[in-house]
Chain A
Amino acid sequence: MLRDLQAAVAAALLGDPAAAADRVVGGTLTPTRRLEIYRHNVISNLRGALRDIYPVVERIVGEAFFVHAADQFIRDTPSRSGDLNCFGAEWPDFLAGYPHAAELPYLADVARLEWAWHECFHAADAGPLDLHRLAAVPADEHATLRFRLHPTVRLLASPHPLLRIWQVNQPGYDGELALDWDAGGDALLVRRDGDAVTIEALPPGAFRFLSALSCGGTMEATAAAAMAADAAFDLQGFLLDSVQSAVIVDFERDSQ
Protein backbone atom coordinates (compact mmCIF):
# COMPACT_ATOMS: atom_id res chain seq x y z
CA MET A 1 0.00 0.00 0.00
CA LEU A 2 1.11 3.53 -0.79
CA ARG A 3 0.83 4.81 2.80
CA ASP A 4 2.68 1.83 4.19
CA LEU A 5 5.53 2.25 1.70
CA GLN A 6 5.82 6.00 2.25
CA ALA A 7 5.80 5.61 6.04
CA ALA A 8 8.56 2.99 5.80
CA VAL A 9 10.67 5.15 3.47
CA ALA A 10 10.18 8.29 5.58
CA ALA A 11 11.27 6.44 8.71
CA ALA A 12 14.29 5.03 6.88
CA LEU A 13 15.35 8.42 5.51
CA LEU A 14 15.25 10.03 8.96
CA GLY A 15 16.68 6.99 10.70
CA ASP A 16 18.42 3.99 9.17
CA PRO A 17 18.28 3.93 5.33
CA ALA A 18 18.89 0.16 5.34
CA ALA A 19 15.51 -0.33 7.05
CA ALA A 20 13.64 0.24 3.76
CA ALA A 21 16.18 -1.50 1.50
CA ASP A 22 13.80 -4.40 0.77
CA ARG A 23 11.37 -1.97 -0.93
CA VAL A 24 13.96 -0.65 -3.40
CA VAL A 25 15.38 -2.10 -6.63
CA GLY A 26 19.16 -2.51 -6.59
CA GLY A 27 21.11 -2.70 -9.85
CA THR A 28 24.31 -0.71 -10.27
CA LEU A 29 23.89 0.71 -6.77
CA THR A 30 22.64 -1.15 -3.70
CA PRO A 31 19.17 -0.23 -2.40
CA THR A 32 20.70 1.16 0.80
CA ARG A 33 23.08 3.39 -1.16
CA ARG A 34 20.12 4.71 -3.19
CA LEU A 35 18.20 5.51 -0.02
CA GLU A 36 21.32 7.19 1.39
CA ILE A 37 21.31 9.63 -1.53
CA TYR A 38 17.82 10.71 -0.51
CA ARG A 39 18.75 10.78 3.15
CA HIS A 40 21.58 13.16 2.27
CA ASN A 41 19.23 15.38 0.24
CA VAL A 42 16.59 15.44 2.98
CA ILE A 43 19.09 16.35 5.70
CA SER A 44 20.84 18.98 3.58
CA ASN A 45 17.54 20.63 2.61
CA LEU A 46 16.42 20.90 6.24
CA ARG A 47 19.89 21.97 7.38
CA GLY A 48 19.94 24.56 4.60
CA ALA A 49 16.62 25.97 5.79
CA LEU A 50 18.02 26.39 9.31
CA ARG A 51 21.21 27.99 8.02
CA ASP A 52 19.21 30.48 5.95
CA ILE A 53 17.12 31.55 8.94
CA TYR A 54 19.84 31.40 11.63
CA PRO A 55 23.07 32.85 10.14
CA VAL A 56 24.07 34.64 13.38
CA VAL A 57 23.78 31.46 15.45
CA GLU A 58 26.00 29.71 12.87
CA ARG A 59 28.49 32.56 12.96
CA ILE A 60 28.72 32.33 16.74
CA VAL A 61 29.08 28.55 17.04
CA GLY A 62 30.84 27.78 13.75
CA GLU A 63 29.77 25.50 10.94
CA ALA A 64 30.72 22.15 12.47
CA PHE A 65 28.89 22.82 15.74
CA PHE A 66 25.87 24.18 13.86
CA VAL A 67 25.60 21.15 11.59
CA HIS A 68 25.96 18.74 14.50
CA ALA A 69 23.22 20.49 16.47
CA ALA A 70 21.05 20.87 13.37
CA ASP A 71 21.22 17.14 12.65
CA GLN A 72 19.99 16.30 16.12
CA PHE A 73 17.25 18.93 15.84
CA ILE A 74 16.16 17.51 12.47
CA ARG A 75 15.90 14.02 14.00
CA ASP A 76 13.93 15.30 17.00
CA THR A 77 11.69 17.88 15.33
CA PRO A 78 9.64 16.90 12.30
CA SER A 79 9.11 19.41 9.54
CA ARG A 80 5.35 19.99 9.49
CA SER A 81 4.99 21.83 6.20
CA GLY A 82 5.83 21.50 2.54
CA ASP A 83 7.03 25.09 2.81
CA LEU A 84 10.58 25.12 4.22
CA ASN A 85 10.07 28.71 5.42
CA CYS A 86 7.92 27.20 8.18
CA PHE A 87 10.68 24.90 9.43
CA GLY A 88 12.80 25.78 12.44
CA ALA A 89 10.41 27.63 14.80
CA GLU A 90 11.44 25.30 17.65
CA TRP A 91 15.19 25.74 17.08
CA PRO A 92 15.58 28.42 19.81
CA ASP A 93 13.96 26.14 22.42
CA PHE A 94 16.08 23.25 21.21
CA LEU A 95 19.25 25.33 21.69
CA ALA A 96 18.08 26.38 25.17
CA GLY A 97 18.11 22.72 26.18
CA TYR A 98 21.10 21.61 24.08
CA PRO A 99 23.78 20.46 26.53
CA HIS A 100 26.70 21.37 24.24
CA ALA A 101 25.48 24.99 24.12
CA ALA A 102 25.26 25.32 27.92
CA GLU A 103 28.29 27.62 27.95
CA LEU A 104 26.54 30.02 25.59
CA PRO A 105 23.48 31.01 27.66
CA TYR A 106 22.57 33.80 25.22
CA LEU A 107 22.49 31.51 22.16
CA ALA A 108 18.80 30.60 22.41
CA ASP A 109 17.87 34.30 22.60
CA VAL A 110 19.98 35.04 19.52
CA ALA A 111 17.99 32.33 17.76
CA ARG A 112 14.72 33.85 19.03
CA LEU A 113 15.78 37.16 17.55
CA GLU A 114 16.57 35.51 14.20
CA TRP A 115 13.20 33.74 14.13
CA ALA A 116 11.52 37.09 14.94
CA TRP A 117 13.48 38.62 12.04
CA HIS A 118 12.35 35.80 9.74
CA GLU A 119 8.69 36.20 10.73
CA CYS A 120 8.92 39.96 10.41
CA PHE A 121 10.43 39.73 6.91
CA HIS A 122 7.46 37.69 5.62
CA ALA A 123 4.67 39.34 7.64
CA ALA A 124 1.79 41.25 6.07
CA ASP A 125 2.06 44.84 4.91
CA ALA A 126 -0.16 47.48 6.52
CA GLY A 127 -0.90 51.13 5.90
CA PRO A 128 -0.53 53.87 8.52
CA LEU A 129 -3.16 54.57 11.14
CA ASP A 130 -6.14 56.57 9.91
CA LEU A 131 -5.81 59.77 11.92
CA HIS A 132 -9.20 61.08 10.84
CA ARG A 133 -10.84 57.97 12.23
CA LEU A 134 -8.91 58.40 15.46
CA ALA A 135 -9.83 62.08 15.73
CA ALA A 136 -13.50 61.12 15.48
CA VAL A 137 -13.33 59.06 18.69
CA PRO A 138 -14.93 60.96 21.61
CA ALA A 139 -12.50 61.83 24.42
CA ASP A 140 -14.41 59.76 26.97
CA GLU A 141 -13.63 56.63 24.95
CA HIS A 142 -9.85 57.12 24.75
CA ALA A 143 -9.16 55.05 27.84
CA THR A 144 -10.87 52.01 26.35
CA LEU A 145 -9.27 52.15 22.88
CA ARG A 146 -7.23 49.10 21.93
CA PHE A 147 -4.41 50.03 19.59
CA ARG A 148 -3.14 47.46 17.11
CA LEU A 149 0.52 46.95 16.23
CA HIS A 150 1.80 46.59 12.68
CA PRO A 151 1.73 42.89 11.64
CA THR A 152 5.52 42.92 11.26
CA VAL A 153 6.17 43.95 14.87
CA ARG A 154 7.88 41.42 17.14
CA LEU A 155 8.93 42.17 20.73
CA LEU A 156 11.72 40.31 22.45
CA ALA A 157 13.26 40.71 25.91
CA SER A 158 16.50 39.06 26.95
CA PRO A 159 18.74 39.19 30.03
CA HIS A 160 21.71 39.38 27.60
CA PRO A 161 23.03 42.31 25.50
CA LEU A 162 21.33 40.81 22.47
CA LEU A 163 21.46 43.78 20.11
CA ARG A 164 25.25 44.13 20.53
CA ILE A 165 25.74 40.39 20.02
CA TRP A 166 23.65 40.66 16.87
CA GLN A 167 25.53 43.70 15.58
CA VAL A 168 29.05 42.36 16.01
CA ASN A 169 28.03 39.15 14.24
CA GLN A 170 26.70 40.80 11.11
CA PRO A 171 28.62 40.14 7.88
CA GLY A 172 30.90 43.07 7.11
CA TYR A 173 30.91 44.37 10.71
CA ASP A 174 34.36 45.85 11.35
CA GLY A 175 33.77 47.90 14.51
CA GLU A 176 34.68 47.30 18.11
CA LEU A 177 34.34 43.64 19.06
CA ALA A 178 34.32 44.01 22.84
CA LEU A 179 31.03 43.17 24.53
CA ASP A 180 30.04 44.52 27.92
CA TRP A 181 28.41 41.48 29.48
CA ASP A 182 27.43 43.53 32.54
CA ALA A 183 25.53 46.09 30.47
CA GLY A 184 22.28 44.34 31.29
CA GLY A 185 19.63 42.86 29.07
CA ASP A 186 17.85 44.18 26.02
CA ALA A 187 14.21 44.84 25.25
CA LEU A 188 13.97 44.79 21.48
CA LEU A 189 11.50 45.95 18.89
CA VAL A 190 11.80 44.11 15.56
CA ARG A 191 9.78 45.61 12.71
CA ARG A 192 9.86 46.41 9.03
CA ASP A 193 10.62 49.86 7.71
CA GLY A 194 9.60 49.53 4.06
CA ASP A 195 11.06 46.16 3.11
CA ALA A 196 13.99 46.35 5.53
CA VAL A 197 13.81 44.60 8.90
CA THR A 198 15.05 46.84 11.72
CA ILE A 199 15.95 45.98 15.31
CA GLU A 200 16.05 48.62 18.02
CA ALA A 201 16.41 48.61 21.80
CA LEU A 202 13.52 50.13 23.72
CA PRO A 203 13.48 51.65 27.21
CA PRO A 204 11.51 49.61 29.79
CA GLY A 205 8.35 51.74 29.72
CA ALA A 206 8.07 51.70 25.93
CA PHE A 207 8.68 47.95 25.79
CA ARG A 208 6.03 47.23 28.41
CA PHE A 209 3.60 49.53 26.63
CA LEU A 210 3.99 47.81 23.24
CA SER A 211 3.98 44.35 24.88
CA ALA A 212 0.70 45.17 26.63
CA LEU A 213 -0.73 46.47 23.33
CA SER A 214 0.32 43.31 21.53
CA CYS A 215 -1.75 41.35 24.07
CA GLY A 216 -4.79 43.43 23.18
CA GLY A 217 -4.83 45.69 26.26
CA THR A 218 -6.84 48.90 26.45
CA MET A 219 -5.14 52.29 26.44
CA GLU A 220 -5.76 52.60 30.17
CA ALA A 221 -4.32 49.19 31.02
CA THR A 222 -1.29 49.48 28.72
CA ALA A 223 -0.46 52.95 30.03
CA ALA A 224 -0.62 51.64 33.60
CA ALA A 225 1.70 48.73 32.69
CA ALA A 226 4.19 51.14 31.11
CA MET A 227 4.11 53.51 34.08
CA ALA A 228 4.69 50.61 36.44
CA ALA A 229 7.86 49.76 34.52
CA ASP A 230 8.99 53.39 34.26
CA ALA A 231 7.24 56.13 36.22
CA ALA A 232 8.74 58.77 33.89
CA PHE A 233 7.42 57.11 30.70
CA ASP A 234 6.32 59.74 28.17
CA LEU A 235 3.10 58.16 27.02
CA GLN A 236 1.93 60.95 24.69
CA GLY A 237 5.31 61.32 22.99
CA PHE A 238 5.84 57.59 22.51
CA LEU A 239 2.32 57.05 21.24
CA LEU A 240 2.78 59.79 18.66
CA ASP A 241 6.15 58.35 17.56
CA SER A 242 4.65 54.88 17.28
CA VAL A 243 1.83 56.14 15.09
CA GLN A 244 4.20 58.18 12.91
CA SER A 245 6.59 55.28 12.43
CA ALA A 246 3.64 52.91 11.77
CA VAL A 247 4.45 50.67 14.73
CA ILE A 248 0.82 51.32 15.65
CA VAL A 249 -1.42 51.07 12.60
CA ASP A 250 -4.95 50.52 13.81
CA PHE A 251 -7.28 50.61 16.80
CA GLU A 252 -10.51 49.09 17.99
CA ARG A 253 -13.28 50.71 19.99
CA ASP A 254 -14.94 48.57 22.62
CA SER A 255 -18.24 50.25 21.84
CA GLN A 256 -18.22 48.87 18.28
Chain B
Amino acid sequence: MSRPRHILPSRAGIGLRTPHYQAMLETRPPVSFLEVHSENFFGDGGQPLRYLARFREDYAVSTHGVGLSLGSADPVSPSHLQKLKRLVDLIEPTLVSEHLCWVGIDGRYLNDLLPLPYTEESLAHVVDQVDRVQSALGRRILVENVSSYLQFVESTIPEWEFVREVARRAGCGILLDVNNIHVNAVNHGFDAHTFIDAIEPGSVGEIHLAGFQDTGDVLIDTHGDFVADPVWGLYQRALARLGPVPTLIEWDTDIPPLEALLGEAAKADRMLAECVAGRHAA
Protein backbone atom coordinates (compact mmCIF):
# COMPACT_ATOMS: atom_id res chain seq x y z
CA MET B 1 0.00 0.00 0.00
CA SER B 2 1.40 3.41 -0.89
CA ARG B 3 1.94 6.01 1.79
CA PRO B 4 -0.40 9.01 1.94
CA ARG B 5 1.25 12.06 0.38
CA HIS B 6 -1.55 14.52 -0.03
CA ILE B 7 -2.42 16.98 2.72
CA LEU B 8 -6.01 18.16 2.55
CA PRO B 9 -5.74 21.92 2.64
CA SER B 10 -9.16 22.14 4.20
CA ARG B 11 -8.34 20.00 7.21
CA ALA B 12 -5.88 20.69 10.03
CA GLY B 13 -3.04 18.50 11.26
CA ILE B 14 -1.38 18.18 14.66
CA GLY B 15 2.15 18.03 16.00
CA LEU B 16 3.02 14.42 16.87
CA ARG B 17 4.58 14.10 20.33
CA THR B 18 5.57 10.95 22.22
CA PRO B 19 2.96 11.28 25.03
CA HIS B 20 0.28 10.86 22.33
CA TYR B 21 1.75 7.87 20.48
CA GLN B 22 -0.39 5.31 22.26
CA ALA B 23 -3.65 7.25 21.95
CA MET B 24 -2.89 7.97 18.29
CA LEU B 25 -2.31 4.30 17.53
CA GLU B 26 -5.48 3.28 19.34
CA THR B 27 -7.83 5.91 17.93
CA ARG B 28 -6.29 6.89 14.55
CA PRO B 29 -8.01 10.30 14.50
CA PRO B 30 -8.69 11.57 10.96
CA VAL B 31 -6.34 14.55 11.07
CA SER B 32 -4.97 15.78 7.78
CA PHE B 33 -1.28 15.31 8.66
CA LEU B 34 1.22 14.85 11.46
CA GLU B 35 4.23 17.07 12.02
CA VAL B 36 7.41 16.00 13.79
CA HIS B 37 10.57 17.82 14.82
CA SER B 38 13.15 16.52 12.37
CA GLU B 39 16.01 16.30 14.88
CA ASN B 40 14.07 13.89 17.10
CA PHE B 41 14.47 11.36 14.30
CA PHE B 42 18.14 11.92 13.47
CA GLY B 43 19.20 8.72 15.26
CA ASP B 44 20.43 5.72 13.27
CA GLY B 45 17.59 3.42 14.34
CA GLY B 46 15.44 2.15 17.18
CA GLN B 47 12.08 3.14 18.57
CA PRO B 48 11.70 6.75 17.32
CA LEU B 49 12.12 5.82 13.66
CA ARG B 50 10.05 2.67 14.02
CA TYR B 51 7.11 4.63 15.43
CA LEU B 52 7.43 7.33 12.80
CA ALA B 53 7.43 4.75 10.00
CA ARG B 54 4.31 3.23 11.51
CA PHE B 55 2.46 6.55 11.63
CA ARG B 56 3.70 7.30 8.14
CA GLU B 57 1.78 4.31 6.79
CA ASP B 58 -1.49 6.03 7.69
CA TYR B 59 -0.74 9.75 7.62
CA ALA B 60 0.93 12.38 5.51
CA VAL B 61 3.85 13.73 7.54
CA SER B 62 5.68 17.05 7.61
CA THR B 63 9.17 17.37 9.10
CA HIS B 64 9.90 20.59 10.94
CA GLY B 65 13.53 21.37 11.76
CA VAL B 66 14.67 23.40 14.75
CA GLY B 67 18.44 23.10 14.39
CA LEU B 68 19.59 23.77 10.83
CA SER B 69 20.40 27.40 11.67
CA LEU B 70 19.63 28.81 8.22
CA GLY B 71 20.37 32.34 9.37
CA SER B 72 23.74 31.71 10.98
CA ALA B 73 26.76 33.41 9.40
CA ASP B 74 28.27 29.90 9.59
CA PRO B 75 27.49 27.77 6.55
CA VAL B 76 24.77 25.16 7.13
CA SER B 77 26.35 22.17 8.89
CA PRO B 78 27.00 19.41 6.31
CA SER B 79 26.41 16.66 8.87
CA HIS B 80 23.12 18.19 10.05
CA LEU B 81 21.99 18.57 6.46
CA GLN B 82 23.04 15.01 5.67
CA LYS B 83 20.96 13.69 8.59
CA LEU B 84 18.00 15.75 7.45
CA LYS B 85 18.37 14.36 3.95
CA ARG B 86 18.53 10.81 5.29
CA LEU B 87 15.29 11.39 7.22
CA VAL B 88 13.56 13.04 4.27
CA ASP B 89 14.58 10.22 1.93
CA LEU B 90 13.33 7.65 4.44
CA ILE B 91 10.02 9.23 5.45
CA GLU B 92 9.13 11.07 2.24
CA PRO B 93 7.39 13.93 4.04
CA THR B 94 4.85 16.01 2.17
CA LEU B 95 6.31 19.23 3.60
CA VAL B 96 9.81 20.01 4.91
CA SER B 97 10.27 23.18 6.92
CA GLU B 98 12.93 25.12 8.85
CA HIS B 99 12.97 28.32 10.86
CA LEU B 100 14.07 31.71 9.61
CA CYS B 101 16.53 32.20 12.44
CA TRP B 102 19.98 31.32 13.70
CA VAL B 103 20.75 28.69 16.32
CA GLY B 104 24.53 28.93 16.70
CA ILE B 105 27.65 30.73 15.51
CA ASP B 106 31.34 29.84 15.18
CA GLY B 107 30.45 26.17 15.67
CA ARG B 108 28.92 26.86 19.06
CA TYR B 109 25.18 26.23 19.35
CA LEU B 110 22.69 27.99 21.61
CA ASN B 111 19.90 25.59 20.58
CA ASP B 112 17.28 28.31 20.62
CA LEU B 113 15.53 30.04 17.71
CA LEU B 114 17.28 33.41 17.66
CA PRO B 115 15.97 36.25 15.49
CA LEU B 116 18.03 37.73 12.68
CA PRO B 117 18.95 41.33 12.08
CA TYR B 118 16.72 42.13 9.10
CA THR B 119 19.27 43.62 6.72
CA GLU B 120 20.22 43.21 3.05
CA GLU B 121 23.28 41.24 4.18
CA SER B 122 21.18 38.76 6.20
CA LEU B 123 18.67 38.50 3.39
CA ALA B 124 21.29 37.65 0.75
CA HIS B 125 22.93 35.17 3.11
CA VAL B 126 19.70 33.37 4.07
CA VAL B 127 18.69 33.15 0.39
CA ASP B 128 22.04 31.44 -0.36
CA GLN B 129 21.61 29.04 2.54
CA VAL B 130 18.04 28.12 1.57
CA ASP B 131 19.26 27.56 -1.97
CA ARG B 132 21.98 25.21 -0.70
CA VAL B 133 19.49 23.26 1.43
CA GLN B 134 16.96 22.94 -1.37
CA SER B 135 19.68 21.72 -3.75
CA ALA B 136 20.93 19.17 -1.23
CA LEU B 137 17.44 17.86 -0.47
CA GLY B 138 16.34 18.06 -4.07
CA ARG B 139 13.07 19.69 -3.07
CA ARG B 140 11.45 22.93 -2.02
CA ILE B 141 11.34 23.76 1.68
CA LEU B 142 9.18 26.13 3.72
CA VAL B 143 10.73 28.72 6.02
CA GLU B 144 8.91 29.83 9.16
CA ASN B 145 8.71 33.32 10.64
CA VAL B 146 9.87 33.05 14.27
CA SER B 147 8.58 34.63 17.47
CA SER B 148 10.95 37.16 19.02
CA TYR B 149 11.52 39.12 22.18
CA LEU B 150 14.03 41.57 20.74
CA GLN B 151 14.85 43.49 17.60
CA PHE B 152 18.33 44.47 16.51
CA VAL B 153 19.32 48.11 16.17
CA GLU B 154 20.85 47.43 12.77
CA SER B 155 17.67 45.99 11.20
CA THR B 156 16.60 48.04 8.18
CA ILE B 157 13.84 45.87 6.70
CA PRO B 158 10.46 45.12 8.34
CA GLU B 159 10.20 41.45 9.28
CA TRP B 160 7.26 40.82 6.91
CA GLU B 161 9.21 42.16 3.95
CA PHE B 162 12.21 40.06 4.92
CA VAL B 163 10.08 36.89 5.07
CA ARG B 164 8.39 37.69 1.76
CA GLU B 165 11.73 38.45 0.05
CA VAL B 166 13.41 35.25 1.26
CA ALA B 167 10.59 33.24 -0.34
CA ARG B 168 10.66 35.29 -3.55
CA ARG B 169 14.41 35.18 -4.06
CA ALA B 170 15.13 31.64 -2.82
CA GLY B 171 12.09 30.07 -4.45
CA CYS B 172 11.07 28.48 -1.16
CA GLY B 173 7.65 28.57 0.46
CA ILE B 174 6.57 30.25 3.70
CA LEU B 175 5.40 28.47 6.81
CA LEU B 176 3.32 31.28 8.24
CA ASP B 177 3.14 31.02 12.02
CA VAL B 178 0.16 33.19 12.88
CA ASN B 179 0.79 32.91 16.61
CA ASN B 180 4.33 34.22 16.10
CA ILE B 181 2.96 37.19 14.17
CA HIS B 182 0.67 38.04 17.09
CA VAL B 183 3.45 37.55 19.65
CA ASN B 184 5.82 39.79 17.70
CA ALA B 185 3.16 42.41 17.01
CA VAL B 186 2.51 42.73 20.75
CA ASN B 187 6.17 42.48 21.76
CA HIS B 188 7.40 45.00 19.21
CA GLY B 189 4.33 47.18 18.79
CA PHE B 190 3.32 46.73 15.15
CA ASP B 191 -0.02 45.96 13.51
CA ALA B 192 -0.28 42.20 12.89
CA HIS B 193 -2.52 42.87 9.87
CA THR B 194 0.37 44.68 8.17
CA PHE B 195 2.38 41.46 8.38
CA ILE B 196 -0.35 39.25 6.96
CA ASP B 197 -1.25 41.72 4.24
CA ALA B 198 2.38 41.75 3.06
CA ILE B 199 2.46 38.00 2.43
CA GLU B 200 1.76 36.91 -1.13
CA PRO B 201 -1.08 34.46 -1.72
CA GLY B 202 0.40 31.28 -3.17
CA SER B 203 3.66 31.64 -1.26
CA VAL B 204 2.38 30.05 1.95
CA GLY B 205 2.61 26.25 2.12
CA GLU B 206 1.52 25.81 5.73
CA ILE B 207 0.15 27.74 8.68
CA HIS B 208 1.08 27.13 12.33
CA LEU B 209 -1.19 27.83 15.29
CA ALA B 210 -0.11 27.54 18.93
CA GLY B 211 -0.56 29.06 22.36
CA PHE B 212 1.64 31.65 24.07
CA GLN B 213 2.17 32.78 27.64
CA ASP B 214 1.60 36.38 28.71
CA THR B 215 4.10 37.28 31.45
CA GLY B 216 2.65 40.77 31.83
CA ASP B 217 5.37 42.63 29.98
CA VAL B 218 6.04 40.24 27.12
CA LEU B 219 4.37 37.37 25.25
CA ILE B 220 6.43 34.16 25.30
CA ASP B 221 5.87 31.64 22.53
CA THR B 222 5.61 28.55 24.75
CA HIS B 223 3.47 26.25 22.57
CA GLY B 224 1.96 25.32 25.91
CA ASP B 225 -1.65 26.48 25.77
CA PHE B 226 -4.79 26.77 23.65
CA VAL B 227 -4.66 29.08 20.66
CA ALA B 228 -5.65 32.57 21.87
CA ASP B 229 -8.69 34.42 20.48
CA PRO B 230 -6.74 37.20 18.77
CA VAL B 231 -4.67 34.51 17.02
CA TRP B 232 -7.83 32.79 15.75
CA GLY B 233 -8.92 36.20 14.45
CA LEU B 234 -5.62 36.67 12.63
CA TYR B 235 -5.89 33.14 11.29
CA GLN B 236 -9.25 33.96 9.70
CA ARG B 237 -7.78 37.08 8.19
CA ALA B 238 -4.86 35.04 6.81
CA LEU B 239 -7.26 32.48 5.30
CA ALA B 240 -9.32 35.25 3.72
CA ARG B 241 -6.16 36.55 2.04
CA LEU B 242 -4.39 33.28 1.25
CA GLY B 243 -7.24 30.80 0.76
CA PRO B 244 -7.28 27.43 2.54
CA VAL B 245 -3.74 26.39 3.59
CA PRO B 246 -2.66 23.18 5.44
CA THR B 247 -2.82 24.20 9.09
CA LEU B 248 -1.04 22.68 12.06
CA ILE B 249 -1.78 22.80 15.79
CA GLU B 250 1.49 22.83 17.77
CA TRP B 251 1.66 21.94 21.44
CA ASP B 252 5.10 21.21 22.89
CA THR B 253 5.12 22.06 26.60
CA ASP B 254 2.58 21.07 29.29
CA ILE B 255 1.23 18.67 26.69
CA PRO B 256 -2.48 17.95 27.33
CA PRO B 257 -4.43 14.80 26.37
CA LEU B 258 -4.73 14.23 22.63
CA GLU B 259 -8.37 15.36 22.70
CA ALA B 260 -7.29 18.94 23.43
CA LEU B 261 -5.21 19.05 20.25
CA LEU B 262 -7.97 17.43 18.24
CA GLY B 263 -10.40 20.04 19.57
CA GLU B 264 -8.13 22.84 18.37
CA ALA B 265 -7.73 21.08 15.02
CA ALA B 266 -11.53 20.81 14.71
CA LYS B 267 -11.82 24.55 15.36
CA ALA B 268 -9.30 25.24 12.60
CA ASP B 269 -11.24 22.83 10.35
CA ARG B 270 -14.39 24.92 10.82
CA MET B 271 -12.58 28.10 9.85
CA LEU B 272 -11.05 26.35 6.85
CA ALA B 273 -14.52 25.15 5.82
CA GLU B 274 -15.92 28.69 6.15
CA CYS B 275 -13.04 29.96 4.04
CA VAL B 276 -13.76 27.40 1.32
CA ALA B 277 -17.51 28.11 1.43
CA GLY B 278 -16.87 31.86 1.31
CA ARG B 279 -14.69 31.47 -1.77
CA HIS B 280 -17.34 29.39 -3.53
CA ALA B 281 -20.01 31.95 -2.68
CA ALA B 282 -17.87 34.82 -3.96
Contacts and interface: CB of A to CB of B under 8 A. Distances in A.
B210 to A, nearest CB: 15
B43 interface: yes
- Chain B interface residue bracket vs A: 35 or more
Interface string A54-90: 0000000000000000000000001111111101000
Given A14-B110, A42-B111, A85-B42, A6 B150 contact: no
Nearest to B189: A27
Contacts, number: 137
A254 interface: no
Contact of B112 (A42, A151, A192): A42
B46 A123 contact: yes
A23 to B, nearest CB: 6
Contacts of A255: none
A82 B107 contact: no
Contacts of A1: 73, 121
B45 A123 contact: yes
A3 B105 contact: yes
A82 B77 contact: yes
B169 interface: no
B267 interface: no
A84 to B, nearest CB: 5
Interface string A106-147: 000000000000000111110000000000000000000000
A24 B152 contact: yes
B53 to A, nearest CB: 11
A45 interface: yes
Given A27-B188, A42-B111, A123-B44, A81 B80 contact: yes
Interface in A192-227: 192, 195
A46 B108 CA distance: 13
A125 B46 contact: yes
B111 A38 contact: no
A82 B114 contact: no
A49 interface: yes
B111 A45 contact: yes
Contacts of A80: 107-109
A34 interface: yes
B73 A46 contact: no
A256 B147 CA distance: 57
Nearest to A6: B105
Given A25-B150, A82-B69, A83-B39, A37 B45 contact: no
A5 interface: yes
B105 A35 contact: no
B260 interface: no
B15 interface: no
List the 4 closest pairs (A to B, CB-CB), nearest first.
A82-B67, A122-B43, A3-B73, A124-B44
Interface of A: 1-3, 5-7, 9-10, 13-14, 22-25, 27-29, 31, 34-35, 37-38, 41-42, 45-46, 49, 78-85, 87, 121-125, 151-152, 192, 195
